[in-house]
Chains A and B, each alone.
Chain A
Amino acid sequence: MHLPEIDRYAHGQSPLHRLDPRLKLLALVLLLLATNLTRQLPGALIALSGALGLVLLSRLPLPFLLWHLKAPALLALLLGLGLALFTPGEPLLGPITAEGLLLGITLIMKVLACFLYFLALVATAPLFSTIRAARSLGIPEKLLALLIFTYRYLFVFLDRARNLSLAMQARGFREGTNKHTYETKARLYALLFLRAYEDTERILLAMQARGFSSPKVPGLPPLNREQLLQALPLFTLPLALLALNFLW
């Protein structure tokens, strides 16, 4: 159980922090599209170097990057290894084939590039700005309201779950693969769901008392020329990658 830390370095002074979140989101979609369309090693290499450049520009600290890298890196390594071992082709070293190795390395680079693009462009703006940016780009209000609510209550429930598990430890609970553990864990889950259910009615009433009738997620103010010009260099990268993919 970890508190989400995506907003930790959202307020910085780097060139990426200064860009408009709408344009960053748009650029991210284009960059991910371009990277996903890449199939060859050179393309993946260019995508990865672009991503590394962006991350350097964003000045996000290394421990933060590494902490977030854990999940994608594990998956990429596993899949890359699978590709290297099981792709039919010319044997290189034991069961590893040359074709498989090439595919595996390309895959790992693509995953890394996507990850770095994502962090460089999402972690450099507060999450709420990114959500407002999504509203400005036409994502339905209801969906964004759901996202905001879920995000907000995650912290409440995290606290609650911590208290519950602390209380369990205080009573001498030790985990193991046995009936007692499973029953206790089920009790913990049931309690979490139950409390959530009980909260919903209270919260809805409180919201209605304050005049809630429909969710309102404000968009961002209209863009000006300066902001567009600032973001222009960012868009050259995905366009170059896309062009490369079509020409290759």
Chain B
Amino acid sequence: MHIADGVLPAWVSATGWVVTAPGVGLSLRHLPVEEIPKLALITSAVFLASLIHVPLGPTSVHLIFNGLAGLLLGPLAFLSFFVALTLQALLFQFGGLFSLGVNTLVMGGPAFLVGWISRRLPGSRRPLLAGFLGGGAILVSGVLLALALSLAGQGFISVAKLALVAHLPVALVEGIITGLVIFLLQRIRPEVLLVSLALLALPSVSWGHRLDADVYLTPQGLRVEAYFPDGTPGRNDRVTVYCQGKKVAEGRTDAQGVALLPRPKDCLQARIVVTGSLGHRAVRTLTLAPTSSPQPGPPPRAPKEPFPWKGVLSGLGFIFGLAGLILAWDTRRRLRSLASSRN
């Protein structure tokens, strides 16, 4: 629930802004310029997803996704929610400008918490735990909302209790969906969850340079060299090799930024993801020719595709048909003009 303008007493709204504004300022300072499109797009997707309703018994609920945003974006999810709520207020009048501070705290606060936890708890992206975090985020939101409302006045306390109770089923649904979404994301593109935007720590290191990587195929296996544009090697970065969406090899770069990994077997195209500190990341794809492998036996052959006779014939038929129509129309036109000139 977004609190509209005019509901809360001025001092509660002001307190909300006093906490939210520095949080937004700090997040902005820690947001590298090249992450702006990324954060904006994920924010947009989360905003949109929150507009799609999920049926629940006789009614339907819309989810908030603050837990999921925390898992995807880390502590910067707070900024993401500030932007999303500003837009909600501007476009649809969900919430308001004066209550924006409180609303951001209510929804972005738990997102920040989940983001903070997920950075410190490596297992937090397991679907079950993610589900608990997603549901928990909504519960915290409910408590914060109830708190804000009950601060507003005596008469609001019952409404606050009601709002808290209304959050319980939503938390359940949100937990289930968050767990499922994380499960699916891990299955489809696991590196999505490994990517993280810059943390709220050591911003000067992450300021505006990007990780590059070169990948070579050598007789010993895959040689991955990670480096920054100024020549600094990417030390102790995690290198993960994916083949058809599955993780096939993993390793770390040494002090020279070099990692040697075994060549993936039976793999035509490998995705190599280098994940550095503070969310630096480079993705390369390498096409591996099947013939160069010293495997015994005949090289695997690509399945022969039958020649699309049917398609060719129907295409030709279509072209001829069209040509015939045009000819017929043209002849008719000419005959008509002939007829009219005779008259």
Contacts and interface: CB of A to CB of B under 8 A. Distances in A.
A58 to B, nearest CB: 15
A111 B4 contact: yes
B87 A204 contact: no
Given A154-B47, A157-B44, A193-B181, A146 B79 contact: yes
Interface string A16-40: 0000000000001100110111010
B48 interface: yes
A132 interface: no
A231 interface: no
A153 B97 contact: no
Given A71-B92, A154-B47, A193-B49, A213 B33 contact: yes
Nearest to B69: A193
B286 interface: no
Interface string B1-19: 1111111111001000000
B38 to A, nearest CB: 4
B156 A79 contact: yes
Contact of B45 (A76, A104, A146, A193): A193
B41 A194 contact: no
A234 interface: no
Nearest to A122: B90
Given A1-B52, A154-B47, A213-B33, A118 B28 contact: no
Interface in A71-89: 71-72, 75-76, 78-79, 82-88
B41 A153 contact: yes
A104 B7 CA distance: 10
Interface in B50-74: 51-52, 54-57, 60, 65, 68, 72
Nearest to B46: A193
A4 B91 contact: yes
Interface residues of B, number: 76
B243 to A, nearest CB: 18
A200 B158 contact: no
Contacts of A213: 33
Given A35-B5, A204-B38, A147 B181 contact: no
What secondary structure prevails in chain A residues at the interface with B? helix
Lowest 9 A-B CB distances belong to which pairs? A149-B40, A186-B180, A110-B6, A114-B5, A82-B159, A196-B45, A87-B155, A83-B155, A4-B91
22 contacts: A1-B51, A4-B92, A32-B97, A36-B8, A37-B10, A71-B2, A72-B93, A87-B155, A88-B154, A114-B96, A115-B5, A115-B96, A142-B36, A143-B28, A146-B83, A150-B84, A153-B45, A183-B180, A189-B177, A193-B49, A193-B181, A195-B45
Interface of A: 1-2, 4, 6, 28-29, 32-33, 35-37, 39, 68-69, 71-72, 75-76, 78-79, 82-88, 100, 103-104, 107, 110-115, 118-119, 122, 127, 130, 140, 142-143, 145-147, 149-151, 153-154, 156-158, 161, 165, 175-177, 181-183, 185-190, 192-197, 199-201, 203-204, 207-208, 213-215
Interface of B: 1-10, 13, 24-25, 28, 31, 33-34, 36-49, 51-52, 54-57, 60, 65, 68, 72, 79, 83-84, 86-87, 90-94, 96-98, 149, 153-159, 162, 173, 176-177, 180-181, 183-185, 188-189, 192, 195, 283
